[in-house]
Structures are given as C-alpha cells and as structure tokens.
C-alpha cells in the first residue's frame, strides 16, 4: 500500500513541475516577443518626439516605416493649424521632410494604382518614403505568383516611378 501512495505522490509532483515549466515557457516567449519589438518601439518613440518638436505635430495618428534604399520613419498627424501632415524622417541623418497629406494622393490611391499595374496577392505595407528627394508611397506586396514586389508611387502625381518585381 505504501508503494501505491508514493506512485500517486510522484504523479502529482510531475504535474506540478510540468505546469511550472509551461508557465515559465509562456513568460519567456512573451519576454522574447517584447524584446524583439523593442527597436521598433524605440524608433517610433524617437520619431514621434522629433516630429512633435521639429514638425509641430500636436496629435499623432499613425507611424510608418519604409526601407527600400534608406530607412525612413514617418509620423502622420495633425499640426497646430489643424492640417494633416506627414513628417518623413530619415533614420541615418534625422532629416525631416514635412508634407501636407492634401498635397498628394492617399495610401489607398497608391495601392489602387499599384494594383492596376499588377494584381496584389497579399499586401504587406503602404508607407510614405522619400525617393530621389521627393515624397512617395512605397507599396510592398506579394503578387499572385507569391513573388515579393515593390512599387514606388509618386506622392503628388500618382505615377509609378519604380517597380521591382519578384525580389
């Protein structure tokens, strides 16, 4: 009889250890996820601070990141004059280009222009960027053949200025 009690005791002990290990693994996975997102969170925070100070953004609506030939962080928001603006910040130099959203096409329009050239299978992102010194929309997506494709659409005219298929 003592033998069966010790077996039962070890069984409950094993379950307690398994639960503890599972909880520890979940905590480690959450920590790893937060750690992995730290660089983008830091970039967003720094870009927001810079946009508030240099571009006069008073209300932040959205954060974008684009990376074709250079990395750009963009803060979309409202300035003191209640205008919707984009503050496009080059990561390396910190240079800011301020663009009124009313001066160009929307991200949806850029997506539709790209979709008309080549059907978008799965959209990855549409983000403001600078291309050859001008504001543009960088549209990245998978085409219907599952090839990674980029389209750079001029912000003001809506013309496709660069198209990179099946990267």
Domain boundaries, the chain: 107-164
Q: Is the dihedral of CA 20, 23, 24, 25 positive or negative?
A: positive
pLDDT at residue 1, as a whole number: 46
For the segment 103-146, what is each residue's pLDDT rounded down to a tens digit?
A: 999 999 999 999 998 888 899 999 999 999 899 999 999 988 88
Helix residue ranges, H only, 2-161: 2-54, 107-117
Mean pLDDT across the stretch 66-73?
Answer: 87
For the segment 5-22, what is each residue's pLDDT rounded down to a tens digit?
A: 555 567 788 888 999 999
Instruction: Count, in order, helices (H) and strands (E) of the chain.
Output: 2, 8
CATH number for region 107-164: 3.10.450.40
The answer on pLDDT for 154 being more than 60 is yes
Tell me the whole-structure pTM to 2 decimals: 0.75
Mean pLDDT across the stretch 33-44?
Answer: 85
Residue whose C-alpha is closest to residue 68's, from 107, 15, 22, 124: 124
Question: pLDDT class for 153, splitting at 50, 70, 90?
Answer: very high
**Residue 136 in tokens:** 């543009």
**Residue 34 in tokens:** 């937060």
């Amino acid at each position: 009889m003592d033998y069966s009690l010790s077996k039962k005791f070890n069984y409950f002990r094993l379950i307690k250890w398994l639960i503890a290990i599972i909880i520890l693994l979940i905590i480690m996975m959450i920590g790893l996820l937060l750690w992995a997102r730290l660089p983008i969170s830091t970039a967003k925070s720094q870009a927001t601070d810079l946009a508030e100070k240099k571009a006069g953004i008073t209300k932040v609506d959205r954060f974008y990141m684009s990376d074709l030939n250079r990395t750009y962080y963009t803060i979309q928001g409202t300035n003191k004059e209640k205008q919707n603006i984009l503050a496009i910040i080059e990561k390396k130099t910190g240079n800011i280009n301020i663009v009124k959203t009313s001066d160009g096409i929307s991200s949806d329009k850029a997506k539709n222009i790209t979709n008309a050239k080549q059907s978008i299978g799965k959209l990855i992102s549409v983000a403001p960027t600078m291309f050859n010194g001008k504001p543009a929309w960088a549209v990245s997506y998978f085409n219907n053949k599952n090839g990674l494709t980029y389209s750079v659409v001029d912000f003001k005219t809506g013309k496709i200025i660069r198209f990179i298929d099946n990267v």
